[in-house]
Amino acid sequence: VDHCTAESADPALTLLHRVFGFRGFRGQQGEIVRHVSDGGDALVLMPTGGGKSLCYQLPALLRPGVAIVVSPLIALMQDQVRALSQAGVRAASLNSTCGLEELRTIEQDMRRGELDLVYMAPERLMTPRMQELLQQVPIALFAIDEAHCVSQWGHDFRPEYLQLSVLHERFPRVPRIALTATADARTRQEIVRRLGLDEARQFLSSFDRPNIRYRVTPRRNARDQLWRFLETEHPGDAGIVYCLSRRKVDDMAEWLNSKGRPALPYHAGLDAATRQRNQQRFIEEEGLIVVATIAFGMGIDKPDVRFVAHLDLPRSMEAYYQETGRAGRDGLPATAWMTYGLQDVITLRQMLDSSEAGEAHKRVERHRLEAMLAFCEHTACRRQSLLGYFGEDLPEPCGNCDTCLEPVETWDATEAARKALSAVYRTGQMFGVAHLVDVLRGRETDRVRQFGHHRLSVFGLGADMEAGQWRTLFRQLVALGLVEVDLDGYGGLRLAERCRPVLRGEQPLHLRRDPAPARARRKRAVP
Ligand code: ADP
Ligand code: ZN
């Protein structure tokens, strides 16, 4: 009888423990490691923070030869190499900052079999010099990190990744593992096709983060709302507040400090030393808030971030998922909270339309923004909507998002939408929401008189609804793409092609009713 201990029975587990100090595998890690160690190709789809690195690092140690890791970002390579070296693994990275001397040393180490992993950018890997070297040394595997960079459909497209398709032909016996955190079905297919991974086994992990509670709330007064959220739900907790502009970041951080919540700013306008210091403090101290633009968070691994708050709408669902995903890495309850309003939609649309990007790229980005807006206005389970976007089907509502906890009221907005749309049309498709609401509510302002809008048939047609309700409706019409925001920078609205059936009354419209504003709790008078 073989009296092996569990440890010695599985060399992968032994290494996992000895080198990385972990007791067990997470999710599908174990299976992936075994598959690749046995020489199989793999496509790994795992959310950020899921533990992708081990999936190639362990096979790299288990197989003879050097593992070649392709990565697009120098900073990420250097982090990885540093961490591996600390764990006693022989790793190096080759990038454009390497001098000739360093390059020679690393090449020599590879020849002598003295390296377990070498990280490099794809263009380095494809140089004739590197290709020749690789023909002469045993290779453990090729790992292609951030594999979605090969997809032209995606937002991170890197042309150099396309050349990686030849690895398969040149090194048919070397297993390849492609890894990514962003891949809808379409991108996945593109990765498979472009990298010749038809035979690869696909390991698709769930993107669900069940301990994160998703909440989206219409904006009234962002500061008040944020403050109430922080004080009632996360007093003393560490968290991240995201804003779009540097100025807003600075203002918010200052304001939080003045209210007694320690907060640090983080954005690309601060010098590197300050950024580094603020990031370090956030990681080491307890209960700090970082107010940041999206520049914050890459490579942050703080397990006890209890909340992520968005004061501005993220550009896409991908961004939203990544940013909210920094909450609750420890598995304990955490909140992803966001306020959003019409101005977000207008700002983002305008930023997009005025950007230098090509038409095809803009179309993709517009599509992404639309998905983000649809998520905000979604009337059913947020988690189902979020996961659905990534091609994952959550069979039951989650019970841990705002719409599950407090089902939203919907109402038949068909008639009101027709009135709103005709107000846009009758006033000449050039006015912003404030004026349109005045017209609908029948307010004879100077502006209304100046343009003679009090003589229009729609004037006063919407007196039965409050101004706030009309503003909500306009936000939703824009979010649904029925109304477009003008490019002139003044937020004028015009009709989109899509609104015709609604305008003609052929398409009913059911929308979410914004929750009533939480009333400030009145203190009971003490006699
Ligand atoms: P990804 O590349 O998918 O974003 P990483 O490989 O950087 O994720 O891993 C994220 C974090 O999880 C790291 O801090 C890593 O040390 C940790 N981790 C990965 N696998 C395990 C495991 N099996 N047990 C405990 N911690 C793990
Ligand atoms: Zn839900």
Instruction: Say yes or no: CB of residue 49 within 6 Å of ligand 1.
Output: yes
Q: Which ligand is nearest to the CA of 53?
A: 1
Atom of ligand 1 nearest to the CA of 52: 3
pLDDT value, residue 521: 41
Quote the pLDDT of residue 4.
44
Q: Is the CB of 51 under 6 A from ligand 1?
A: yes
Indicate if ligand 1 lies below 6 Å from the C-beta of 27.
no
Residues 381 and 397 sit within 8 Å (Cβ to Cβ): yes
Atom of ligand 1 nearest to the CA of 50: 3
The candidate with the shortest Cα–Cα distance to 58, out of 80, 83, 36, 41, is 36
- Closest residue to atom 16 of ligand 1, CA basis: 51
Cα–Cα distance list, 394 to 49, 335, 382, 383 (Å): 21, 20, 11, 8
Q: Residue 192 to residues 44, 168, 423, 453, 504: CA-CA distances in angstroms? A: 11, 12, 50, 58, 46
Question: 448-452, long-range: CB within 8 Å, 24+ apart, which pairs?
Answer: 451/427
Give the pLDDT of residue 88.
95
Instruction: Give the nearest ligand 1 atom to 23 CA.
Output: 24
- The predicted-structure confidence for 243-257, as pLDDT tens digits, reads as follows 989 999 999 999 999
Q: Would you say the CB of residue 403 lies under 6 angstroms from ligand 1?
A: no
pLDDT for 299 equals 60
Residues 383, 398: contact at Cβ < 8 Å?
yes
The percent of residues in the chain predicted with pLDDT above 90, rounded, is 65
Angstrom distance (rounded) from CA 64 to CA 49: 28
CA-nearest residue, atom 15 of ligand 1: 51
User: What's the gap in Å between 52 CA and the centre of ligand 1?
Assistant: 7
Our answer on whether the CB atom of 29 is closer than 6 Å to any ligand 1 atom is: yes
ipTM: 0.98
174-216 pLDDT per residue, tens? 999 999 987 677 888 999 999 999 999 999 988 899 999 999 9
The CB of 50 under 6 Å from ligand 1? The reply is yes
pTM of the model: 0.75
Q: What is the pLDDT of residues 92-109, one digit of tens each?
A: 999 877 888 999 999 999
User: What pLDDT digit, counting tens, does each position of 463-505 carry?
Assistant: 999 998 999 899 889 888 889 887 666 778 999 988 999 988 8
pLDDT digits (tens, 9 = 90+) for 254-307: 999 999 999 999 998 999 899 889 999 999 999 999 999 977 766 677 889 999
Ligand 1: centre distance to CA 434 (Å): 50
- Nearest-CA residue for atom 18 of ligand 1: 51
